[in-house]
A and B are shown apart, each in its own frame.
Chain A
């Protein structure tokens, strides 16, 4: 339920998703330019801003990738406007090159980077902790503990960024981005700045002399920030007289810590330091806490980032204290009230409020009853047909050779083809890496190498490795799975869609034109539901001496269905003819569309799930699947 949050009145309560709250915070913070590339769990931030853009008169764009998004925001900041770039944690890796120098430069208009770290890797290839990235770039970090703070602190980040002339990072985790809560809205500013570019090579042109000068200025700025954070309301020290135990709770972990302390009936018995600026940490407050207790527990998700800094302070100040952190709090995955409760129970040598062991036992007991339910490509998804075709074509080409085709994969819905029965994703590393890895493979193995990459991912980071294949003569086949949208994250447009984040019509780039422009000599376009033609094209692509590109183009089924519904058209499902069906099971064993179901021994098609694509009818060896009459 996306809504126009620019219409919210100050003082009004709204029930918001964390990402909506961040977007509203940016509006309240006077953002005038926002850029992003979609990525879970960050996507809804820019979507919400795009909804509000017209009303607010701000510029919002989906950039081709996160590096460009950051540069768009940086460009605006240089001209004095408040700007934001939001991305998922691994997106910041893409932006890293410019990020490092942005830290040296500082800002004119407040510049905020939102790094949405996917702790637990719910929808990501890793669970990296971007506080280390921020540290490397001398970028201060605000880490909210709930949805209200996510809004308030985003607005604060713009103020702080300008006050200290430095890029600020709002670091969130999935359970902030995709948390929900009641939020009291603040005021929207009226001020709109004009962008003015002032030539200043000694600031903006990072030749070595500028780099050395800016580095020194950056370090000075950061020292100031290090002092200021002790007074910022984002950090709060609650000292309890005679408390033996102190807890330092960082970002979201503060919420779990509050609940755990209550559950353990330790209220008024432990001192608590809430750390909202996890970089730099409020050293004075930490010192005061360390000097007042015998033991301290640091609660933070993922890496022992704050823990290392606290230990450094204890060492520097010569405070003898036992510092606990990752000895009791896991390095891996999301935290919970239970985890903090158990750590507190251990430290206070008391019993947890409930028998958690029994819950673990219950989980073990019920596990065999719960079926494995991996996410799957949707019924009628063109990607399923594409992979089915690719596999048949590849197998036919290696027939009579002792070779197994290799399928480097990429990031998107189509990553799901890793699962049985398609099994056509052999590697999955990062955006665009399918083609990069294919380049490497092509020079060291004899087997055909078939990289698959989605349209949005191709524009994001697939082009340089494709050029590399042409330049360095890597014999690879690249399949661009073009469904005309960024489907995985919820149908955001991209350079191949023909319209922008704010629904403005624009040039529609075609992957085939890009491939030809890159110098690829074999470029073909095919509809994945055109089985015979598609197999033939992929076979020819695989035989081609040199890099080849096949664009499988068909609109995402979810979008087609939505459009059909709008037009009032009915979906006519397919049915299995029980008389013709020999129960060979090829439809499920090789294709496994979720709409094909098995009841006892009989195969059937779930008419609620069936999208009427008809691909299963094409592949049934007994012609036992027909359009319903």
Chain B
């Protein structure tokens, strides 16, 4: 039985951060696990930062992950992952959608947006593993860009860390969405799962040469980036 498994999901209002958490939490409940969590709403939904927390296991009592105790940080937007980096344990995993959402303060000259490389390097330094993918692009290829959250949920499941079965997650999607929306979301989830699994496996066997993984066996640019700063790192055009 899981004692404590802490997930932090960070994104920008409109990305489906809370929906992702709801599916995760509901699936965990169906699995008979104890679940706790919370979310930040209110002013935050208008394009501001949103973060959701899902904690599983009998030793998780509070609605927030204690700082330094996060097992997984899911960043639907790279800088939003960084904003929540202190929640992540040194042993934790960060799963990052590399697609930036630039706030309006940047074109107004009131803020700057960092280079994606800097973000991933910082995350890498502070965690055990970083799994980075352009989930927005992947989602667009199989469905619609807004399904990026489901690609990320799939990638999270693909790491093998989640104490929840894929089938249960899909069951929740089927229960909450119309048939067509569920189909699209499950497709996005499956793709994310493959990518997450491939990147995780590759991280575990760094002695193997890194092939360009094709997620659906045809598109050569689907999988993007892993282990920034490692001897086997590679970046694609999106990241440069």
The chain A residues found within 8 Å of chain B, CB to CB, are 1, 13-15, 40-41, 118, 122-124, 145-147, 175-176, 178-182, 252, 255-256, 258-259, 262-263, 334, 336-338, 341, 354, 356, 359-360, 362-363, 365-366, 369-378, 413, 416, 420-421, 588-589, 592, 594, 596-598, 608
Shortest distance between the CB of A373 and any CB in chain B (Å): 4
Name the interface residues of B74-112: CB closer than 8 Å to any CB of A: 79-80, 82-83, 85-86, 102-108, 110-112
Closest CB-CB distance, A443 to chain B, in whole Å?
A: 32
Q: Which of B18-67 contact A (CB under 8 A)?
A: 19, 21-22, 25-26, 28-29, 32-49, 54, 59-64, 66-67
- By CB atoms of chain A within 10 A, which of B42, B68, B118 has the most? B42
Instruction: Name the A residues within 8 Å of B83 (CB-CB).
Output: 366, 370
Does chain A have a CB within 8 A of B126? yes
Q: Is the CB of B61 within 8 A of A371?
A: no
Tell me, rounded to whole Å, the shortest Cβ–Cβ distance linking A251 to chain B: 12
Q: Residues of B contacting A41 with CB < 8 Å?
A: 41-42
Return chain A residues, CB-CB under 8 Å to B49: 373
Q: Which residues of B contact A416 (CB under 8 A)?
A: 43, 46
Q: Are B85 and A362 in contact (CB under 8 A)?
A: yes
Q: Is the CB of A363 within 8 A of B102?
A: no
Give the residue of B25, B41, B106, B112 whose beta carbon is less than 8 angstroms from that of A123. Answer: B41
User: A371 contacts which of B32, B68, B112, B176 (Cβ < 8 Å)?
Assistant: B112
Tell me whether B145 is interfacial, beta carbon within 8 Å: yes
B160 contacts A by Cβ under 8 Å: no
Closest B residue to A336 by CB, please name it: B64
Once A40-B42, A122-B42 are accepted as A-B contacts, the answer to whether A371 and B111 lie under 8 Å apart by CB is yes
Query: Using Cβ atoms and an 8 Å threshold, which residues of chain A touch B233?
Result: none
Partner of A178 from B40, B54, B80, B107 at Cβ < 8 Å:
B40
Q: Which of B35, B67, B102 contacts A180 (CB 8 A)?
A: B35
- Contact status A1-B22, CB under 8 Å: yes
Given A336-B67, A371-B106, A373-B12, check contact A258 B61 (CB 8 Å).
Answer: yes
Given contacts A180-B25, A338-B66, A588-B108, contact A255 B46 (CB under 8 A): no
Does B114 sit within 8 A of A, measured CB to CB?
Answer: yes
A374 touches B103 (CB 8 A): yes
A259 touching B108 by the CB < 8 A rule? no
Which listed residue, B111, B118, B176, touches A1 by the CB 8 Å rule? Answer: B176
Expressed in whole angstroms, the Cα–Cα distance for A148 and B167 within the complex equals: 27
> A577 → chain B, closest Cβ, in Å?
18
Contact present for A255 and B62 (CB under 8 Å): yes
Binding site for A on B (CB under 8 A): 12-13, 19, 21-22, 25-26, 28-29, 32-49, 54, 59-64, 66-69, 79-80, 82-83, 85-86, 102-108, 110-114, 118-119, 122, 126, 145, 176
Q: A123-B43, A413-B46 are in contact. Are A182 and B85 (CB under 8 A)?
A: no
Assuming the contacts A178-B39, A180-B39, A366-B85, asked whether A371 and B102 have C-beta atoms less than 8 A apart, the reply is yes
A373 to B176, Cβ gap below 8 A?
no
Bound together, the chains give a CA A594 to CA B176 distance in angstroms of 30
Chain B positions within 8 Å of A181 at CB level: 35-37, 63
Complex Cα gap A115–B147 (Å): 36
Q: Bound state CA distance, A144 and B239, in angstroms?
A: 47
B41:A122 contact, CB within 8 angstroms: yes
- Report which of B66, B102, B114, B126 forms a contact with A369, defined as CB distance below 8 A: B114
With contact pairs A15-B26, A594-B47 given, residues A123 and B42 touching in the complex (Cβ less than 8 Å): yes
Among B59, B67, B107, B145, the residue within 8 A (CB) of A338 is B67
Known contacts being A14-B29, A255-B63, A588-B108, is A369 close to B122, with CB within 8 Å?
A: yes
Question: In the complex, A13 Cα to B29 Cα: how many Å?
Answer: 7
Among B26, B28, B119, the most chain A Cβ lie within 10 Å of the Cβ of B26
7 tightest A-B contacts by CB? Answer: A123-B42, A375-B48, A337-B66, A375-B46, A179-B63, A598-B107, A15-B29
Bound: A33/B110 CA distance, A: 49
Besides A359-B68, A375-B47, 10 more A-B contacts (Cβ < 8 Å) are: A175-B64, A182-B35, A338-B66, A338-B67, A371-B103, A373-B47, A373-B80, A373-B103, A594-B104, A597-B107
Contact partner of A146 (CB less than 8 A), chosen from B21, B36, B48, is B36
Q: Please pick, from A256, A356, A376, the residue contacting B62 in the complex, using a CB distance under 8 A.
A: A256
Chain B: minimal CB distance from A335 (Å): 9
CA distance A306 to B92 in the complex (A): 38
CA of A598 to CA of B112 in the docked complex: distance in angstroms?
12
**Residues of A contacting B107 in the complex (Cβ-Cβ under 8 angstroms):** 588, 592, 596-598
Let me know if A366 and B108 touch, CB within 8 A. no
Ordered by A's residue number, 28 sampled pairs between the chains whose C-beta atoms are within 8 Å are A15-B29, A122-B41, A123-B44, A178-B38, A180-B22, A180-B39, A180-B63, A182-B25, A182-B29, A182-B35, A258-B61, A336-B67, A337-B67, A341-B66, A356-B67, A356-B68, A359-B68, A366-B83, A366-B85, A369-B119, A370-B83, A371-B102, A371-B103, A373-B12, A373-B79, A377-B46, A592-B104, A608-B145
**With A356-B68, A597-B107 in contact, do A371 and B79 touch (Cβ < 8 Å)?**
yes
Q: In the complex, what residue of chain A is closest to B38 when comparing beta carbons? A: A179
Give Cα A152 to B42, complex, Å: 26
Chain A: CB-nearest residue to B114: A369
Residues of chain B lying within 8 A (CB to CB) of residue A356:
67-68
A258–B59 alpha-carbon span in the complex (Å): 9
Taking a contact as CB atoms under 8 Å apart, the answer to whether B38 and A370 are in contact is no
Cβ contact within 8 Å between A592 and B29: no
**A420 B110 Cβ-Cβ under 8 A:** yes
A180 to chain B, nearest CB (A): 4
Most buried by A among B26, B32, B108, B118: B108
- The minimal Cβ–Cβ distance linking A610 to chain B, given in whole angstroms, is 14
In the complex, the chain B residue whose C-beta lies closest to that of A593 is B104
Q: A175-B38, A180-B38, A182-B34 are known contacts. Are A372 and B66 too (CB-CB below 8 A)? A: no
